[in-house]
Amino acid sequence: MNVVVVESPAKAKTINKYLGSGYKVLASFGHVRDLPAKDGSVRPEEDFEMLWEVDSASQKRMKDIADAVKSSDGLILATDPDREGEAISWHVLDLLKKKRVLGDKPVKRVVFNAITKKAVLDAMAHPRDIDIPLVDAYLARRALDYLVGFNLSPVLWRKLPGARSAGRVQSVALRLVCDRENEIELFVAEEYWNISALLKTPRGDEFEAKLVSVDGKRIQRNSVTNGTDAGRIKEMLESARYAVDSVEAKPVKRNPGPPFTTSTLQQAASSKLGFSASRTMQVAQKLYEGIDIGGETVGLITYMRTDGVQMAPEAIDAARAAVADQFGARYVPDKPRLYSTKAKNAQEAHEAIRPTDFNRSPDQVRRFLDADQLKLYDLIWKRGIASQMASAEIERTTVEILATRDGEKAGLRAVGSVIRFDGFIAAYVDQREDGEGGDDDEDGRLPEINAREALAKQKVNASQHFTEPPPRYSEASLIKKMEELGIGRPSTYAATLKTLSDREYVVTEKRKLIPHSKGRLVTAFLESFFTKYVEYDFTADLEEKLDKISAGELDWKQVLRDFWKDFFAQIEDTKELRVTNVLDALNEALAPLVFPKREDGSDPRICQVCGTGNLSLKLGKYGAFVGCSNYPECNYTRQLSSEGGAEAEAGGGNEPKALGKDPVTDEEITLRTGRFGPYVQRGDGKEAKRSSLPKGWTPSMIDLEKALSLLSLPREVGAHPESGKMISAGLGRYGPFVLHDGTYANLETIEDVLSIGLNRAVTVLAEKQSKGPGGRGRAAPAALKEMGEHPDGGAITVRDGRYGPYINWGKVNATLPKGKDPQSVTMEEALALIAERAAKDGGKPAKAKKAPAKATKAKAADADEAAPKKKSAAKPKAKAAPKTKKS
């Protein structure tokens, strides 16, 4: 018997079926060890020795693997086909060697790009050794992220209160978002005019032509910049004679794009489906690991962490055959289409993301997938099959028109196109029953227009426009930009974006990324004092070096030595920094944010309250704010806005926003922003009732109804049935709560505070008391369904929680997929979800207790390139990088 080690228990079960009784397939549940979240885990003074730690959950799994290997004929390492997968195999092998269980048993490394029987058996027939250069690249990347996180973040904490932490790639991604915000703030709109004419042919057909030249001078988008010039041109065109100068019809071919890479899939899923990068990878992981299709579990897509755009030869043949079968022979190009990547520093060259079977159309698997899985599979299938289809044939017609008046001339142009053969476009629309594309499909067809014929003017339009600032990044466009610059790698994008959100450096509104004031402060600080380490070229060059390590072209420790020498010197230099130096630099770097222009034109750096003091950034316990130099005589303060401006505290600057009147007291309800954030207020004066906005609520969300609900807190829920004393619900310093007779119990959200009834309040309080004086949080709600015992002991149940139904096993809670009926969950599905959740948590569910002083440094090492299946960076007990695989 041979022991096969994979990462996921879902994969283990499927692969065991493929291999049969001669193999025992076990799951590592991602990484089995990692750098402990403490100083000294990477030791530059000892040539970057790395001290690894195996947590208790991984120790148990490694014991199971070691016990199985003892009685086996050999070991086969079959983790994922990328850098992280190679590293997991290396860790497992190293631990087994230390346990002395291998002896002279053969060890093989196999990789497969899809979880299908053919792919797995082919991989088993072609084993190789562990790719040591790929492991070295992992070690270098892991060490770099640790060293940056554990050394740069403490500088932020000391010099910039309120900052969370910094990471190697995360900081550069944040700079991209902040730089775009700077561009928007500095943007000055410019006026321009578009001019066109509605014309009619001798046959009575109308069409529109746009102005392209005047008196021989070419007219571009911003050529006509004022109403006077536009009016003069319009007046000339109103009385001009029009004739067709030329008509040119030219055939154009439109080619399909390549199959998806990780980056392009995330971009497409964001723009077309509204998925976040993290959600895309979660759904893709499930499609890759396998779906139960009529009693057989099979992977529907190939491996989803890749920047390769090519498909395997057999996949290309299968795609072409499927095209012929589903669309017709005309849709199959003469030769297979071959693609090459344009991504800077592309590496880990696997296949592109594609269906494992092109004959398995979205309609055929619809009943086996939930809504999100179907949407993503449909996207991948269409892109994959379209990549091997014939070009679309389009006829593009260009009509040049001459307008003349008393020696004055103007040129106009009309362009139309007609799809003569839809080609690959057919994959994206409803399929035709006969498989053929129609010849009369059209888009923007022009009427019949002949050269030299006269045209009748119907109307001349001159419309005023203004240039617009560059758009804020969305997740999709930021990933695209990072890929273009060579920053990060496919497996890091989702984790990087999630980190920025978790640390509240970036907020998302209407799918656009807006830098929070604390994010802009961090970026300004790093640009001022760690310039090189947030430069795009430097980060891209470092990525290129890491790629050369994986190719065996560079020594990984020499790369670390070169990096550490300069980085450590920069860290040491900051010890001499005084807070005044930091504030002076930030005042200049963030001048548009800190000192926004005033409508009256007065100096924005002079205090409006006292008239003599100078305004400047100040650093307080809760972060940065703007204050007056005449403090304490002048107590004017102003918070930095999360939306790029500055908002004044009540009584000292910008006017409060009126929301309406309290229907009971008739007092004015206002939305204000103070030093500690936005809040709502009823009435005026020292006795006015105030309430801060709860977590998750932004000023743009607040209306009169929400404000009244906050100002009504604490609210009485009802008398406790045993004591007769009142239970109240409110919002406090530590979040939402219920209170009874001096006992507080936490609630999950502000919505719970506003809606909780007496029965649930009593239950929550009872659960809190049952945990004793040290108990925190809430016990699990009543079970919706009893599943039975877990193989490792302990009951498995389905419960209903804040985010919907979930599977509970001990301290592991795994959310059910959207739309999944809690009563229909099988034990197999429950075990898979539990394993996936445990893997994401590094085998240890997070405990809601305060981290010891040393452990707080773990946040620093929670860098963007650390393994992404990790606990949130905002959790106090987060590790430097959890022992799990990237997502």
Residue type, 596: P
Dihedral angle over CA of 176, 178, 180, 185, nearest 10: -170
Q: Residue 599: how many CB atoms within 10 A of its CB? A: 5
Q: Which of 18, 303, 505, 806 is catalytic?
A: 303
Residue whose tokens read 């107590």 = 635
Is-contact 554 44, C-beta < 8 A?
Answer: no
Is-contact 655 599, C-beta < 8 A?
Answer: no
Peptide bond into 791 cis (omega under 30): no
**HSE-CB for 596 with a 13 A CA cutoff:** 17
Torsions phi, psi of 53, nearest 5?
-130, 135
What whole-number distance in Å separates Cα of residue 382 and Cα of residue 389?
11
| DSSP 8-class letter at 452 | T
| Number of residues that make up the chain | 887
The partner residues of 486 in beta bridges, in order of sequence, read none
Residue type, 452: R
What whole-number distance in Å separates Cα of residue 802 and Cα of residue 368?
26
Burial grade of 117 (CB within 10 A; 0-12, 13-18, 19 or more): middle
Long-range contacts of 596-603 (CB under 8 A, 24+ apart): 596/645, 596/646
Nearest to 166 by CA among 674, 693, 574, 642: 574
Is-contact 871 879, C-beta < 8 A?
Answer: yes
What whole-number distance in Å separates Cα of residue 320 and Cα of residue 324?
6
What whole-number distance in Å separates Cα of residue 315 and Cα of residue 118?
12
Nearest to 252 by CA among 487, 420, 64: 420
How far, in Å, are 57, 339, 872 from residue 292 at the CA level?
A: 28, 32, 31
What whole-number distance in Å separates Cα of residue 327 and Cα of residue 332?
9
Is-catalytic flag, 138?
no
Determine the angle formed by the axes of helices 83-99 and 56-70, rounding to 10 degrees.
70
Nearest to 147 by CA among 640, 563, 484, 702: 563
What whole-number distance in Å separates Cα of residue 232 and Cα of residue 226?
10
Residue whose tokens read 């227009």 = 449
Query: Which amino acids are annotated catalytic?
Result: 303
